[in-house]
């Protein structure tokens, strides 16, 4: 494989617009495949003074006294942030270079003003080029996210999540507690898909089996869940011993059988745009002709093919958030779009509840995890809360039926 790249500066103003040209040549059976040029925009590093001014404009003071102000312990945080963007900013927090009492409030101000777009590293170019050239969510990489994130420790998730261990957004319409919000979400899904006793149900990316346990116990469904996390399989099957539900360690591309209902709750973020059509084809292959598929996923406002560099390195490797355009393109020709429900603001409250549980449990967890891990996990939970509060991220539940289905569908909330 030969990869050639060049950077052509379009103008020298700040921000700088650069055209990144590359070609990838693969020689196989005398065939040559060339990837076309594409254009990206890179924001060059601003100065420390400019960064301080940007923060001041959104009412964030350095070494101020309000909860959302930033306290600096190492002045090199500015250089590190300017050089590495969000990766440097997040890592410097993990290393204790700065603190903020109300991290979620501070980051909400940053996201609302799009300040993060003004500080991007040239290193982002590498991620963009890699995503364009290679399938980061290929089958050979499918189990990496399980090892990195979901296998970090069942003890952590047991203490952080609700009693059912649901690791997706709760539904807070009429709920007062995390347990109530998660049960309301599970019930909402069952109603949306019209689940009935004896139906065969598949959950793609089932986590610790929370939904299939609920569906089996309350609705009498025959449930199968698949996940790429060994730790989830182990704990889930112990929790499901007294039910007809079972969890298997499996990549979604290897699923076989036929099902009346299929759900995927919080897993599509790991599929990758190169594989969206494959994912939808898999669901189409295993779903009954009059079956219903519910996709529950975090979504982004813009079509991308990478994720935030800090999130990629420390939380969700090989991940990316789909856009509405990418999803509709993937289902075209295969599914009927019956319903699209956005309750992304509920994720803010869910994440704050997880963060509260995490802090309360830290005295029991601190012997197993480092202080740097604690700061990493807090940054993850609170920056995610800020991303939903600022409406940068959405939470979608999408109901789909196979093309050719004759039975009508009625949306509900």
pLDDT (mean) for 389-404? 97
Looking at the predicted structure, is the pLDDT value of residue 342 above 50? yes
**What is the per-residue pLDDT for 14?**
39
* SS3 track for the chain: CEEEEEEEECCCCCCEEEEEEEEEEEEECCEEECCCCCCEEECCCCCHHHHHHHHHHCCCCECCCCCCCEEECCCCHHHHHHHHCHHHHHHHHHCCCEECCCHHHHHHHHHHCCHHHHCCCCHHHHHHHHHHHCCCCCHHHCCHHHHHHHCCCHHHHHHHCCCCCCCCCCCCCCCCCHHHHHHHHHHHHHHHCCCCCCCEEEEECCCCCHHHHHHHHHHCCEEEEEECCHHHHHHHHHHCCCCCCEEEECCHHHCCCCEEEEEEECCHHHCCHHHHHHHHHHHHHHEEEEEEEEEEEEEECCCCCCCCHHHHHHCCCCCCCCEHHHHHHHHCCCEEEEEEEECCHHHHHHHHHHHHHHHHHHHHHCCCCCHHHHHHHHHHHHHHHHHHHCCCEEEEEEEEEECCCCCCCCCCC
**What is the per-residue pLDDT for 119?**
56
User: Please, are residues 393 and 344 in contact by the beta-carbon 8 Å criterion?
Assistant: yes
Higher pLDDT, 132 or 88: 88
How far from each other are the two terminal CA atoms of the chain, in whole angstroms? Answer: 51
- Dump pLDDT digits (tens) for 31-77: 333 333 332 233 334 578 888 988 999 999 999 999 999 999 999 99
**What is the per-residue pLDDT for 359?**
98
Lowest-pLDDT choice from 76-90, 173-187, 336-350: 76-90
Q: Other C-beta atoms within 10 Å of 143: how many?
A: 17
**What is the per-residue pLDDT for 312?**
93
pLDDT (mean) for 231-258? 96
Instruction: Share the mean pLDDT of the chain.
Output: 86
pLDDT (mean) for 313-342? 96
Percent of the chain residues topping a pLDDT of 70:
82
> What residue has token string 């986590």?
207
Confidence of residue 4 (pLDDT cuts 50, 70, 90): very low
Domains by residue range for the chain, with CATH: 2-42 (no CATH), 48-118 (no CATH), 139-402 (3.40.50.150)
**What is the per-residue pLDDT for 36?**
31
What token pair was written down for 375?
């700061």
Report residue 393: phi and psi, to 5°. Answer: -110, 150
- Dump pLDDT digits (tens) for 111-124: 999 886 655 544 44
pTM metric for this prediction = 0.84
Higher pLDDT, 145 or 131: 145
pLDDT (mean) for 143-162? 89
Lowest-pLDDT choice from 33-47, 72-86, 258-272, 341-355: 33-47
Higher pLDDT, 351 or 140: 351
Confidence of residue 255 (pLDDT cuts 50, 70, 90): very high
**What is the per-residue pLDDT for 125?**
43
Looking at the predicted structure, is the pLDDT value of residue 240 above 90? yes
pLDDT (mean) for 125-149? 60
Rama region for 207: left / alpha / beta (φ>0; ψ in -120 to 50; rest): left
> What residue has token string 């409250």?
349
Confidence of residue 140 (pLDDT cuts 50, 70, 90): low
pLDDT (mean) for 246-274? 97
- Measured CA to CA, the distance from residue 228 to residue 142 in angstroms comes to 7
Closest CA to 338 of 285, 398, 396, 287: 398
Confidence of residue 369 (pLDDT cuts 50, 70, 90): very high
């Amino acid at each position: 494989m030969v990869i050639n790249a060049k950077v052509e500066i379009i103008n020298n103003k700040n921000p700088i617009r650069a055209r990144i040209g590359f070609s990838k040549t693969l020689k196989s059976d005398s065939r040559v495949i060339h990837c076309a040029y594409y254009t990206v925009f890179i924001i060059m590093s601003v100065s420390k003074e400019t960064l301080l001014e940007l923060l001041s404009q959104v009412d964030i003071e350095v070494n101020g006294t309000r909860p959302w102000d930033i306290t600096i312990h190492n002045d090199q945080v500015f250089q590190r942030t300017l050089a590495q963007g969000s990766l440097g900013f997040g890592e410097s927090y993990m290393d204790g270079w700065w603190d903020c009492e109300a991290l979620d409030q501070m980051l909400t101000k940053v996201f609302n003003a799009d300040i993060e777009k003004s500080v991007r590293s040239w290193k982002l170019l590498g991620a963009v080029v890699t995503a364009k050239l290679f399938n980061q969510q290929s089958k050979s990489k499918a189990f990496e996210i399980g090892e990195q994130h979901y296998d970090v420790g069942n003890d952590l998730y047991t203490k952080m999540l609700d009693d059912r261990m649901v690791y997706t957004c709760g539904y807070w319409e009429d709920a007062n507690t995390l347990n109530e919000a998660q049960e309301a979400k599970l019930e909402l899904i069952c109603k949306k898909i019209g689940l009935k006793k004896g139906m065969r149900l598949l959950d793609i990316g089932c986590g610790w089996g929370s939904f299939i346990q609920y569906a089996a116990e309350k609705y009498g469904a025959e449930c199968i869940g698949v996940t790429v996390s060994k730790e989830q399989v182990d704990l889930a099957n112990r929790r499901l011993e007294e039910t007809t539900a079972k969890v298997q360690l499996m990549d979604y591309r290897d699923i076989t059988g036929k099902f009346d209902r299929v759900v995927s709750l919080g897993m599509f973020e790991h599929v990758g745009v190169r594989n969206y059509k494959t994912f939808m084809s898999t669901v189409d292959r295993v779903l009954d002709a009059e079956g219903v598929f519910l996709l529950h996923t975090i979504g982004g406002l813009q079509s991308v093919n990478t994720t935030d560099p800090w999130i990629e390195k420390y939380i969700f490797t090989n991940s990316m958030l789909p856009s509405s355009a990418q999803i509709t393109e993937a289902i075209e020709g295969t599914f009927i779009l019956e319903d699209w429900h956005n309750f992304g603001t509920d994720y803010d409250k869910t994440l704050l509840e997880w963060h509260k549980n995490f802090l309360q449990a830290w005295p029991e967890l601190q012997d197993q995890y480092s202080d740097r891990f604690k700061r990493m996990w807090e940054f993850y939970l609170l920056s995610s809360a800020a991303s939903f509060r600022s409406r940068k991220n959405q939470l979608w539940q999408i109901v789909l039926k196979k093309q050719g289905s004759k039975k009508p569908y009625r949306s509900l909330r």
